[in-house]
Structure 1
Amino acid sequence: MKRLMYILLLYPSFVCSYEPIVVDVNEGRQIIDGIKKGDEIYFPFSFIKPYYEAYSSEKNGVVYFKHNNAIFRDVAGYTPTGNYLNFDKIAVENWDNYFDGHSIPVNNFRWGQHYYPISILHYGISHHAQKLKCGHNCDIDSNYDNSVDKWINYSGQDNISANGEGVRFTGLDSSYMLKINSSEKYINLDLAFRNANYRVYFEVETTDGIKHIQLNAGSGSHSLNDKYYYVGVPLKTFENRRITIFRDLQTDVKKMFGATYKSLLSVKVRGDVDVFSVSTSKTNHTRIIKRVADWLLEKQDSLGAWPSEFDHMFYSGRTEVMKAGWYSAMAQGLAISHLVRAHSLLGDEGYLDSARSALQIYSVPVSSGGVLDYYDSRPVYEEYPTTPSSHVLNGFIFALLGLYDLQEYDSNIYARDLYEEGFNTLENILPLYDMGNRSAYDLTHISSKTYPNIARWSYHATHVHQLKVMMSISKSTVIKEFHDRWYEYAFGFKVKTN
């Protein structure tokens, strides 16, 4: 049933009868139906909601009205190894993407499917935050007997043998099945592909019947038919090397088949594969943290950076197209923050070395293909290295937080110097983002000499969260002033007029 809520516009002088009226909004720009009760005028909420970006909900007969949809969370107590800005609330699995053969997210953009470092890092950091929340009660494996006699030959010749601690399969002319029957959402295989001659299948029960997720050498992801879905596993980096393949079956079933996951029935193997262990788990945070950190090590280039390999137009009509291979200071900051946390958790020195190397690009000007730009001779680390400059606020602060994490965790002097220079800029340019009742997303209104790009409320809330962290680690009275005022903007506060 359609629900209408009416907003009080004039202060009360109650009478008993309601009178329908016609309301002329802004000199005929819109005509709507209203209700008059004495001196009070009521508008339908369907008008108020888009006009003022207002929101409401109803519970137990009470209507809750909000000035906007911003959600604020406690981000106090920030540390370089702690929960990163409440990223445990983020679920990259629900974004518009698919997960490649190594369970790295690939974005589905309008212009194609691409690895996007910023999304991949949200994935890794969010699982680190979730692991901190669940502590020792998560990432518990249910292990399955992987001995030769447990694998059932359901077609072809017998080409199975014991191989040290695991099982060796040979050739595509035979197929083997290990029964699982588990409702846990993650499947984990410790294995080695000897070449590209293999197939691995996960047989799953769903609300739409039995389906199969098929992994084999290749790239991309697509439906084979209504029961089989293919995921390519890039082979050249992993050939003859022991690795872990894991899948989030709940996410896979939803994205691949549009159904709900119920259980994993079996694992099926064909081809030249050595399988060392098979397990399932309810959560997989540690494996995901490691997988993202390892991806960063593999993909980091000679500048210590992670390029986005697609053309991107940040703001049509204001900025030029960024050509494939562009770098983002936000990606660098998030990468450093993830590598610091992964090193703290897993102890791999390669992660810390990678974080140190990631500092290089901070000093490379945008004009030379880097991320360093300037506003009024002050350094700004650009999320989007656009021409003309965009100076996106949230990306700049994410870049600063990466520097802060490394300077604190590693006592890194270079990171400290970059951070202090950038922080000084932040204090000086914050007034340019203050619109008097909300924050601006960027400064393209200045560089393009036009109207401001106002941050939608979810990004305004991100700004407030970021300033809360910067305030707590710097004790800056300037940051505190803007944090406190921007927080109140979300509840209807506006600065006074002249």
Structure 2
Amino acid sequence: MCRRDHDEVYMPFSFIHKYFEVYGKISSSDSTDKFEWSHSYSKVYHPKKKYDPHGTFTTFENYNVEVRDRVKCISGIEGVPVSTQWEPKGFFYPTQIAQFGLAHYSKNLTEPEPRVKVIDDGDKNLENWIVSKDASISREFDTELKSNIIRFTTTEHPSSQVWCKVNISQDFVLSLDVRLKPNSSLTVVLQNKDKKETVYLHYVTSTQLIYTLDEHIYYGIGIEYKWRRLTRDLIIDMQKGWALLDKPKRKSPRNKFRISSIIFSGNGSAANIRVSTSEHMAHFFAAARWLVSTQRARGGWPVKARRRVAARVPDLKAGWHSAMSQGHGISVLARAYHRSKDASYLRAAQRALHLLDVPSTAGGVKAMWMDKYVWYEEYPTKPPLFVLNGFIYTLLGLYDLHVIEGENSISLAKKMFDDGMISLKTLLPIFDTGSGSFYDLRHITLGVSPNLARWDYHATHVNQLYLLAGLDSDPILINTAKRWEGYMQGRRAAHN
């Protein structure tokens, strides 16, 4: 309903919001209600210094990949996210796994040192384990781990356990070395401090990803009898279990819970048990190891889910490759090599370049604009779509590898980066709508309606351009970034 006041007409903001895609809310300050108006719901980050491939990856220190609804859980075997983005059963999506790794790498550089509570290290900190009558525990030195370990044995009776009572609040990342024989498990008990509610997280010798039964949540950690370093965010594991129980909206703030006990059942060994605020580098290297172990002969990480991208183009069948996966993967591996000096990471990053030079029609990810300008396709459709954000992320991967290899080196990564930058600067004006940006160029290649970038993708474009402007002095980059940021503040291109 509209209201007239002299020469002014007032309309409901709900209508304005939908019609013009603008945003606003009422906030209180100093006992005064104010209406806050904005043209965009996204934020632009202005780089404080030149982008450094040894450092944070763009603004990924703000990413929390594992909390996303489309992440089913963190695999107990691989230690990386399982996606439900295009496949409800869940699959390993290389782009998501790489983002998980890059986010944790970036957080490790920007967050304070974590608090660490050592529960049992076999040396200076020895927990007083409670052993039921039909169970046993012993301590010995393990030559493989080169540390003292706990060896435990229980019977099949449910009450037969080796356990310790703890009272840890706020910090919920559990890490330990564990080696379990079949039908053995580690259980962590969480208790809500306000409610009489108990959650049991079971890490069991199984290949099953995750399953639940009432307040019991189970994660398979594999069946091989070998030492493995298990690092789990207990609150995330609880939330993902609740989602399976149709309780996705339940809130689980960390200050509401505490770890009350840790329980071993079956037959196995454990060592170096601790709880901390975070274990970012452990998560990062889990992603890096996954990329090395799953990389195919041609250097790619296939996406094992069918993807419908746009009308008038065939669906991408399971097994397709993405330039964004390749680029993000290279960014992870370059940093893993920088931190570890393990040459296997560098070799994997270099192998990942191969598919960037293979045409989409031949199973690669390379497209050409006007048979002259190369484009690395996030979604290698026929005809190509020329997705902007995925292309720029691929360029960053190429830049990362070139710098890690040595900035003075003449490398394939440097040539691919330079070729891509020429393409970007040439095609960038085509992505400008005059009031925002296009997500891709399907309106040209397919002759269909334009695919406008929603504000969060537009903000990503702006952030990416500001970052690249620090690497390349061509004014088109910084000028476009400023103009596109202006669109987020209500500015528009001139009209005739």
TM-score interval (norm. to shorter): 0.7 to 0.9
Give the match for residue 392 of structure 2: 397
1:399-425 residue CA offsets vs partner (Å, 9 max, x unmatched) = 000001111121351100111111111
Match of 1:336 among 302, 326, 330: 330
- Provide the C-alpha distance between the structure 2 equivalents of 1:385 and 1:243, rounded to a whole number of angstroms: 37
- Provide the C-alpha distance between the structure 1 equivalents of 2:222 and 2:381, rounded to a whole number of angstroms: 32
- Provide the C-alpha distance between the structure 2 equivalents of 1:59 and 1:448, rounded to a whole number of angstroms: 48
Give the match for residue 106 of structure 1: 82
Give the match for residue 152 of structure 1: 130
Give the match for residue 44 of structure 2: 72
Give the match for residue 242 of structure 1: 227
Match of 1:116 among 79, 83, 93: 93
Once the two structures are aligned, what percentage of the paired residues are identical?
A: 30
**8 Å Cα contact 2:217-2:238 kept in structure 1:** no
> Is 1:86 aligned to 2:72, yes or no?
no
- Provide the C-alpha distance between the structure 2 equivalents of 1:291 and 1:199, rounded to a whole number of angstroms: 21
Give the match for residue 246 of structure 2: none
Partner secondary structure for residue 473 of structure 1? coil
Partner secondary structure for residue 50 of structure 1? helix
The verdict on how the C-alpha distance between 1:476 and 1:219 changes in structure 2, with shifts beyond 3 A counting, is: farther
- Provide the C-alpha distance between the structure 1 equivalents of 2:84 and 2:96, rounded to a whole number of angstroms: 11
**8 Å Cα contact 2:163-2:264 kept in structure 1:** yes
**8 Å Cα contact 1:163-1:274 kept in structure 2:** no
Partner secondary structure for residue 341 of structure 1? helix
Deviation at 1:288, TM superposition (A): 1.1
Give the match for residue 289 of structure 2: 294
**8 Å Cα contact 1:215-1:231 kept in structure 2:** yes
TM-score, length-scaled by structure 2: 0.88
- Provide the C-alpha distance between the structure 2 equivalents of 1:48 and 1:158, rounded to a whole number of angstroms: 70
Give the match for residue 48 of structure 1: 16
The verdict on how the C-alpha distance between 1:349 and 1:431 changes in structure 2, with shifts beyond 3 A counting, is: same
Partner secondary structure for residue 114 of structure 1? coil
**8 Å Cα contact 1:340-1:406 kept in structure 2:** yes
- Provide the C-alpha distance between the structure 1 equivalents of 2:48 and 2:312, rounded to a whole number of angstroms: 36
Give the match for residue 4 of structure 1: none
- Provide the C-alpha distance between the structure 1 equivalents of 2:285 and 2:163, rounded to a whole number of angstroms: 28
The verdict on how the C-alpha distance between 1:308 and 1:208 changes in structure 2, with shifts beyond 3 A counting, is: farther
> Is 1:445 aligned to 2:420, yes or no?
no
- Provide the C-alpha distance between the structure 1 equivalents of 2:215 and 2:376, rounded to a whole number of angstroms: 47
Give the match for residue 247 of structure 2: none
> Is 1:313 aligned to 2:313, yes or no?
no
Higher strand share: 1
> Is 1:169 aligned to 2:164, yes or no?
no
Deviation at 1:212, TM superposition (A): 0.7
Deviation at 1:271, TM superposition (A): 2.6
- Provide the C-alpha distance between the structure 1 equivalents of 2:212 and 2:238, rounded to a whole number of angstroms: 14
The verdict on how the C-alpha distance between 1:459 and 1:265 changes in structure 2, with shifts beyond 3 A counting, is: same
1:230-266 residue CA offsets vs partner (Å, 9 max, x unmatched) = 112234xxx3443210111122223323452511112
Deviation at 1:110, TM superposition (A): 5.3
Partner secondary structure for residue 203 of structure 1? strand
Deviation at 1:157, TM superposition (A): 3.7
Give the match for residue 145 of structure 2: none
Give the match for residue 245 of structure 2: none
Deviation at 1:88, TM superposition (A): 0.9
- The one-letter code matched in structure 2 to 1:242 is W
Deviation at 1:221, TM superposition (A): 4.1
TM-score, length-scaled by structure 1: 0.87
Partner secondary structure for residue 163 of structure 2? strand
1:342-363 residue CA offsets vs partner (Å, 9 max, x unmatched) = 3333333322222122111111
- The one-letter code matched in structure 2 to 1:74 is H
Give the match for residue 433 of structure 1: 431
**8 Å Cα contact 2:199-2:216 kept in structure 1:** yes
Partner secondary structure for residue 202 of structure 1? strand
- The one-letter code matched in structure 2 to 1:43 is M
Deviation at 1:277, TM superposition (A): 1.5
> Is 1:255 aligned to 2:244, yes or no?
no
- Provide the C-alpha distance between the structure 1 equivalents of 2:115 and 2:350, rounded to a whole number of angstroms: 32
**8 Å Cα contact 2:173-2:231 kept in structure 1:** yes
**8 Å Cα contact 2:379-2:387 kept in structure 1:** yes
Match of 1:179 among 161, 165, 170: 165
**Which stretch of the first structure deviates more once superposed, 452-461 or 64-73?**
64-73
Give the match for residue 494 of structure 2: 496
- The one-letter code matched in structure 2 to 1:94 is V
> Is 1:406 aligned to 2:401, yes or no?
yes
Q: CA RMSD in A?
A: 2.0
Deviation at 1:459, TM superposition (A): 0.2
**8 Å Cα contact 1:320-1:388 kept in structure 2:** no
Partner secondary structure for residue 432 of structure 1? helix
- The one-letter code matched in structure 2 to 1:329 is A
Deviation at 1:490, TM superposition (A): 0.9
Give 5+ residue unaligned stretches, structure 2: 143-147, 243-249
- Provide the C-alpha distance between the structure 2 equivalents of 1:466 and 1:406, rounded to a whole number of angstroms: 18
**8 Å Cα contact 1:318-1:444 kept in structure 2:** no
- Provide the C-alpha distance between the structure 1 equivalents of 2:191 and 2:341, rounded to a whole number of angstroms: 38
Give 5+ residue unaligned stretches, structure 1: 1-32
> Is 1:130 aligned to 2:115, yes or no?
no
Deviation at 1:139, TM superposition (A): 3.7
Partner secondary structure for residue 136 of structure 2? coil
Aligned residues: 459
- Provide the C-alpha distance between the structure 1 equivalents of 2:238 and 2:326, rounded to a whole number of angstroms: 32
**8 Å Cα contact 1:202-1:212 kept in structure 2:** yes
> Is 1:383 aligned to 2:356, yes or no?
no
- Provide the C-alpha distance between the structure 1 equivalents of 2:207 and 2:444, rounded to a whole number of angstroms: 43
- Provide the C-alpha distance between the structure 2 equivalents of 1:155 and 1:462, rounded to a whole number of angstroms: 60
Superposed counterparts of 1:245-284, under 5 Å:
245-257=230-242, 258=250, 260=252, 261=254, 262-284=257-279
**8 Å Cα contact 1:181-1:264 kept in structure 2:** yes
**8 Å Cα contact 1:217-1:233 kept in structure 2:** yes
- Provide the C-alpha distance between the structure 1 equivalents of 2:115 and 2:346, rounded to a whole number of angstroms: 27
The verdict on how the C-alpha distance between 1:428 and 1:288 changes in structure 2, with shifts beyond 3 A counting, is: same
**Which stretch of the first structure deviates more once superposed, 345-354 or 421-430?**
345-354
- The one-letter code matched in structure 2 to 1:106 is V
1:298-330 residue CA offsets vs partner (Å, 9 max, x unmatched) = 111112221111111122x23211111111111
Match of 2:357 among 347, 353, 363: 363
- Provide the C-alpha distance between the structure 2 equivalents of 1:143 and 1:306, rounded to a whole number of angstroms: 37
> Is 1:485 aligned to 2:483, yes or no?
yes
- Provide the C-alpha distance between the structure 2 equivalents of 1:139 and 1:366, rounded to a whole number of angstroms: 44
Partner secondary structure for residue 56 of structure 1? strand
- The one-letter code matched in structure 1 to 2:128 is K
Give the match for residue 227 of structure 1: 215
Give the match for residue 204 of structure 2: 216
